[in-house]
């Protein structure tokens, strides 16, 4: 392998839109019962999660100041980035004032007073959960389990970030909220479906955010916005009240600028609700981010699972991931090209994914407002539900054995692949495509992430560098069941060497 490091090109200004195309713009971020504040100058980016917690504990900053800065920065960037669907400004400022009183009294919690955001597929009491859909929804009566745990750790939830409709696509655009844009270049998508969370963290609107990942929806936007994104083991972070979300494909996970921040957020939200189906034993992610795992055997795989698109990595993605593999070799790890035995894993993914979409779409009070592609997936999921989806899930044990042979038989510790085959597409790339053509286009761009959702195993996106035009790309570290600590430790070692957190977008 070449020893050259990837060139991290200077970010470019936003490219002009394609001639003749009207750009979508999102509505002003909303808080029920509150008028938007007037536009203000953009404050500086917020510090990271661990740094914010340290400054609060040392009394060098107040929670009220941090939360106010986050709200100001969100509202100032909303016309350009459109990262948020809802703010809870008044409630967040009241909670920040209470956090300041608790801090002054000597109370200490991992995230006491730190502002964070959550994706709009996650219930926050008092706010509607649109999950990227158009139309009106009633406010949630109670917090989801993940939000309850965030609050128990002391975090202040400032708002809910945009998601594409029912989390289906690797872009965050829709008639209900407009287009969320990439802070590195606003002509391009930040990815999806956790694109709002990724844009918010990359632009320094919040120190970290929670996303969800059913086919790469944390890892893909992390790759396309230069972030660390952790897809944990199934059940590591509760998805309650959705129980077995998307037939077991979807998990919640953190997006942050550093491994330590992502690990800290993972520790804060990890744990099961009493009614959850999946209950893996606890991990200590923050401890793992400070641990040396020793020399590892790492398999580098370029060939994605069979998707019938002929997808392979863009040359600039391949260059960046090759350079990251060279870094791992220089750090003392054994890196060797290999080919996981994916088999026909897509035959298990499609019924589970479309059945999950059908389950969520059936809850929408106004089905006519759903995207035609969603209605197509609903029909497919209804046909493939029941016996077909049960058979697809029953195959998981054999898939664990076949793909797990890479670890159990061949002796590799980690699988390294590109996170996506392509750099982030332009806003509107998927406009006016049929359901079938959308599926083909997004599968060609993102063929690598979804098999680990079928398996339920953990993965971590790490920044791999930039294209020559300044667009971020990423690589994913994938492991066998319950291997988060190994992956986090390896990601932290890479971060120490490559120091990707020193690069910020020009927002």
Point out the catalytic residue in the list 193, 212, 376, 483.
193
Q: Which of 211, 226, 129 is nearest to 172 (CA)?
A: 211
The pLDDT assigned to 435 comes to: 96
Reference 194, options 150, 156, 228; nearest CA is 228
Neighbours of 442 (CB within 10 A): 23
In sequence order, what are the residues at sequence separation of 6 or more whose Cβ sits closer than 8 angstroms to the Cβ of residue 107?
A: none
481 given a catalytic annotation: no
Residue-wise DSSP of 166-235: GG-SSS-EETTTEE--BTTBTTB---SSSHHHHHHHHTTSSSEEEEEESSSTTHHHHHHHT-EEEEPPTT
Is the Cβ–Cβ distance between 145 and 167 less than 8 Å?
A: no
3-class SS at 3?
coil
Decide if 160 is catalytic.
no
Q: Is 386 left (phi over 0), alpha (psi -120 to 50) or beta?
A: left
List of residues 6+ apart from 353 with CB closer than 8 A: 214, 215, 246, 247, 249, 381
- Told to judge if 119 belongs to the known catalytic residues of this protein, a careful annotator would answer yes
Taking the C-alpha atoms of residue 368 and residue 360, their distance in angstroms, rounded to an integer, is 14
Helix axes 484-498, 259-269, angle to 10 degrees: 150
Tokens for 454? 């079928």
Tens place of pLDDT for every residue, the chain, 507 residues? 333 333 333 333 333 333 333 344 455 676 644 444 555 567 799 999 999 999 999 999 999 999 999 999 999 999 999 999 999 999 999 999 999 999 999 999 999 999 999 999 999 999 999 999 999 999 999 999 999 999 999 999 999 999 999 999 999 999 999 999 999 999 999 999 999 999 999 999 999 999 999 999 999 999 999 999 999 999 999 999 998 999 999 999 999 999 999 999 999 999 999 999 999 999 999 999 999 989 999 999 999 998 877 778 999 999 999 999 999 999 999 999 999 999 999 999 999 999 999 999 999 999 999 999 999 999 999 999 999 999 999 999 999 999 999 999 999 999 999 999 999 999 999 999 999 999 999 999 999 999 999 999 999 999 999 999 999 999 999 999 999 999 999 999 999 999 999 999 986
Which one from 163, 194, 212, 217 is the annotated catalytic residue? 217
**pTM higher than the cut 0.75:** yes
| Contact partners, residue 218, CB within 8 Å, separation at least 6 | 194, 211, 212, 229, 230, 231, 253, 254, 255, 461
**pLDDT at res. 312:** 86
From 63, 119, 212, 483, active-site residue: 119
How far apart CA 9 and CA 420 sit, in angstroms, is: 19
């Amino acid at each position: 392998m070449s020893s050259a490091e990837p060139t991290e090109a200077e970010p470019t200004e936003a490219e002009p839109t394609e001639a003749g195309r009207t750009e979508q713009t999102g509505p002003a971020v909303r808080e029920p019962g509150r008028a938007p504040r007037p536009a203000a100058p953009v404050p500086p980016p917020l510090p990271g999660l661990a740094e914010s917690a340290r400054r609060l504990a040392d009394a060098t900053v107040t929670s009220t100041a941090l939360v106010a800065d986050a709200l100001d920065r969100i509202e100032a960037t909303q016309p350009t980035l459109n990262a948020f669907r809802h703010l809870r400004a008044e409630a967040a400022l009241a909670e920040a004032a209470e956090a300041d009183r608790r801090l002054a009294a000597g109370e200490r919690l991992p995230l006491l007073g730190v502002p964070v955001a959550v994706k709009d597929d996650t219930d926050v009491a008092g706010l509607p959960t649109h999950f990227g859909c158009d139309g009106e929804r009633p406010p949630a009566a109670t917090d989801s389990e993940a939000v309850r745990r965030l609050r128990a750790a002391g975090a202040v939830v400032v708002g809910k970030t945009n998601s594409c409709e029912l989390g289906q696509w690797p872009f965050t655009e829709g008639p209900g909220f407009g287009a969320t844009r990439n802070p590195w270049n606003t002509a391009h998508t930040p990815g999806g479906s956790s694109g709002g969370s990724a844009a918010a963290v990359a632009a320094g609107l919040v120190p970290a955010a929670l996303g969800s990942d059913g086919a790469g929806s944390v890892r893909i936007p992390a790759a396309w916005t230069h972030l660390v994104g952790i897809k944990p083991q199934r059940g590591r972070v509760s998805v309650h009240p959705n129980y077995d979300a998307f037939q077991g494909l979807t998990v919640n996970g953190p997006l942050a600028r550093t491994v330590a921040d992502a690990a800290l957020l993972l520790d804060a939200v990890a744990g099961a609700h009493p009614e959850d189906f999946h209950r893996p034993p606890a991990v200590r992610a923050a401890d793992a981010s400070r641990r040396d795992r020793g020399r590892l055997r790492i398999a580098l795989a370029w060939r994605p699972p069979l998707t019938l698109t002929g997808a392979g990595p863009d040359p600039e993605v391949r260059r960046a991931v090759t350079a990251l593999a060279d870094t791992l070799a220089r750090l003392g790890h054994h890196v060797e090209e290999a080919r996981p035995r994916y088999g026909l894993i897509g035959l298990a993914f499609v019924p589970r994914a479309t059945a999950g979409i059908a389950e969520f779409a059936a809850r929408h009070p106004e089905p006519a407002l759903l995207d035609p592609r969603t209605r197509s997936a609903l029909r497919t999921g209804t046909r493939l539900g029941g016996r077909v989806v049960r058979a697809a899930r029953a195959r998981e044990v054999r898939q664990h054995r076949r793909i797990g042979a890479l670890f159990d038989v061949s002796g590799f510790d980690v699988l390294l692949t590109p996170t996506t085959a392509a750099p982030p597409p332009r806003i509107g790339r998927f406009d006016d495509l049929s359901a079938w053509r959308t599926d083909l286009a997004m599968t060609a761009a993102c063929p690598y992430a979804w098999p680990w959702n079928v398996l339920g195993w953990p993965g971590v996106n790490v920044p791999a560098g930039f294209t020559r035009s300044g667009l971020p790309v990423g690589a994913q570290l994938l492991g066998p069941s319950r291997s988060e600590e190994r992956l986090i430790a390896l990601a932290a070692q890479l971060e120490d060497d490559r120091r990707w957190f020193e690069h910020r977008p020009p927002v």
